[in-house]
Amino acid sequence: IMTVTLAADHRVSDGLTGARFLHALAKQLQQPEAL
């Protein structure tokens, strides 16, 4: 189990972009053979 946190300034970046990034990162970490 791993906890990943992302901090972003919502005045500059949309929260959806960060959520998509964390989702993609989680997918990659769950399938290390795809790296």
Report pLDDT digits (tens) over 16-26. Answer: 999 999 999 99
Amino acid residing at 13: S
Which helix (H) or strand (E) element contains residue 13? none
Amino acid residing at 30: Q
- Split at pLDDT 50, 70, 90, the class of 28 is very high
Which has more confidence, 27 or 35? 27
Cα-trace Rg, the chain: 12
User: Residue 24 has what pLDDT?
Assistant: 94
Nearest Cα to Cα of residue 18 among 31, 27, 9: 9
User: Residue 15 has what pLDDT?
Assistant: 87
- Split at pLDDT 50, 70, 90, the class of 30 is very high
If you ran DSSP here, which 8-state letter would residue 10 be given? T
- Split at pLDDT 50, 70, 90, the class of 14 is confident
